[in-house]
Chains A and B, each alone.
Chain A
Amino acid sequence: MIAVRPSSLSSLQLAALASAALVLLPLIYIMALALSADPGVWSRLWTTRVPELLWNTISLAGAVVLLALVLGVSTAWIVTRCDFPGRRLWEVALVLPLAMPTFVLAYVFNYLLGFGGPVEALWQMLAGPQARIFSPQSFLGVTVVMGLATFPFIYLLTRSALLNFNVSFEEVARTCGASPLRRIISVTLPLLRPSIVAGVALVILYVVSDFGAVSLLRYQTLTYAVFQQMTGQLDNQAASILSVLLVVLALLFLLTERWFRRKSRFYQTAGRYRAPQRIQCNWLQTVGLTASLSIILGAAFGGPVCLLILWSLSPEAFAILDARFFGFVWNSAVLATLAATAGVLVGLPLAYLASRKPTWLNTGCLQAAYAGYVLPGPVAALAVLILCLKLIPVVYGTVFVLIIAYVLHFLPAGLQSLEPAIQQITPNLEEVARTLGLSARQTVRQVTLPLIRNGIIVAWVLIFLQTMKELPATLLLRPVGFDTLAIRVWLEASEEYYQLAAPSALLIVLVGLPALGLLLSRDWRAA
């Protein structure tokens, strides 16, 4: 039973269909463009760029996953299983790197590890004046930057799995005489596998679609190549071909993750849950743990933020804090507000219909909207661009196109909090309101919307944040001369004007922090 009448249902239905079309049309169009491209272009790309790009992308994803796993799982284990002074502080602090966009981290590391940079200078004092360290603009450099940026995903998921973990499984293994190592390998890790796999999938999608770090560190991946093709070529054939490859790659990862998750389900047997005992650390262990956590967090967050503050206080940075700078702040804020609002408006009917009237059409529309997951920024930009040029050329080069691309790209993020929010309210509440004499409109206003308000807010904030940090689509679609904070950081940083990029970068990080808090308070204990 639905709280709205049939005719308004069909208008909702129309809205949902339109939203799904908004997402699917560009995707289909870009596929069509790629498939209709000159076969010569295909074969040339296959013999020249594609093997290198595929290898670079996949190997980078693999290496980053390894690093993020090591960092994420070990930190999660430390804060849940050890007891030492400051543990609770670390528990929260380890999430902070999520507020750091990859392009900011990349630009700081470009300086730190760069030729003649402070780390190299330090190393040369130890190992002689000719000693060189690895370049940040290498496979290793990109891996370090992306690993530091993404390990909190794995940390968060592993941590909540460890907290909800029934320790009796381990104890049974122990009473049966299993060694500590064997217990970890054959009991603890398999139980953690579902969360770790989910975290790994997040990290892979993040790496595959990242533009900020790879562009500043000049590491060729598919995403970066799509961007370069779009800005350097007079037609979009090659760009669309590479885009389709990228979409297929992301889709493969996503499906693999789903498959894994279905294969490995574990059930907690009811009743006998006990929280694990924490290992009490002596002072030596405490010092060791604190030091290693400081190094990780210092590299991923503390150090970069200190540098940004230092640079922001330099006279060069002060000189650019003029009206123009506040124009960029305004542009960013307006774009993010528009995108977040549009995203929520587009997402609501989809999520509502799919949960209240789960016909194949409605669930299909919802699933379609999740396609944005496999559309990295440059691809979303390309898709929206060619479709708008075809259908509504008037909007080309206006903010409007940009908003469409953002919604397309970030709708999944919004839906992920809208969907459960709506599903959690039982339809009975709405039905009760109706039998008590409220009209459909009043029901929505007085019952449904207040109940899902938190879900809406979280969705809005998520899209707002992502838009603030968005780089490639903004670069490609913005009205000429319309710069945002993220663009300023990227433009200044790509010419190595570190000080000039710092105020914008710092502002982006600062805006991200309270939002991060909001998101964590939602599912901090529950996640």
Chain B
Amino acid sequence: MGKLKTEEFVVNMGPVHPATHGVCRLMLTMDGEKVVKIEPVIGYLHRAIEKVCENRTYPQCIPMMDRFEYVTSMSTNQVFSQACERLAEIEVPERAEYLRVIMLELNRIASHLIFYGTTAMDMGALTPFLYGLRERELIIDLFEMTCGQRLTYNYIRIGGVSKDIPKEFIPKCREALDIIEGKLVDYEGLLNENPIWLIRTKGIGHLPAELATSFGVSGPVLRASGVDYDIRRDDPYSIYDRFDWKVAVCQNGDCYDRYLLRLEEIRQSISIVRQALDGLPEGNIKAKVSPKFKPPVGEVYSRIENSRGEMGVYIQSDGTTKPLRVKCRGGSYNQLQALPYFGTGGLVADLVAIFATLDVILPEVDR
């Protein structure tokens, strides 16, 4: 018998594939069932946010930023407002800083709950998705109570926040935190020692620390590879240096560690929100900022720790009411860029697990 002829072939995963979390196309070169080459094709969600911002005043840019990364809109509001405050040297009132930290951390918890749900759903387990979104609803209700919006908040403004929290916010928030903390035990019970979950995630998609650093991978993915770096602690912004919390770090850098690390981050965020609620002072919620906000000529790159890694905004001001240049940097951009260099060698099903645990969302990549 002659030898069987084999050849590589190309498969498109996406752009509208449920496991690509948005519209991303991965061009896969396959050798049988093995993935030998990945080529991400992006740009399907490009809305030219940076160009649109150049034609808007600074306060008008904040709603645009909401659309830049809509799963954690609070972070996008914060990173843009922080850049403007650093440009114009505005002092943010104490109460506003506390409210910001509360909202940012609640948003991080909500984002990680979506991660928990969608990652498990991508691998065929539907129950975690229902659990994750059920608890996220509690947090979304808190946001709705405060600013009237459930997804794009436009809450954190230049110089402070737009509205004070209503009276029933604090008891409702404490109740939600207690519920989520209790449910975390359920979450872990569902997956942590589930044999199918372990086979699908343990040792899959190993990302070495040097590769991650070199590609600018940040946030939970970087920390899961053993690099102990968190912007909240190492380049502190807002009032994060006042709270007592731990940076979660894992060592293996595989899918399982990336999952475990995010669950631990939910715990830490709950602790930060509790401390902020305890310390919440009375007072003003917004510094005096003119609607015709004009920062002096200058430039700044401001960055914060988002649930998907380092989120940054570079603003160059020419002294008018509109920015000369706004550049948004999202964590997903660099995570997706690194994927072809460590995601190959496994099955397509492994790639789904890797892509899900990177927690990439595409609006942040395409802008």
Please indicate whether A and B come from the same complex rather than being unrelated chains.
Answer: no
- Residues of A that sit less than 8 Å from B by CB: none
- Residues of B that sit less than 8 Å from A by CB: none
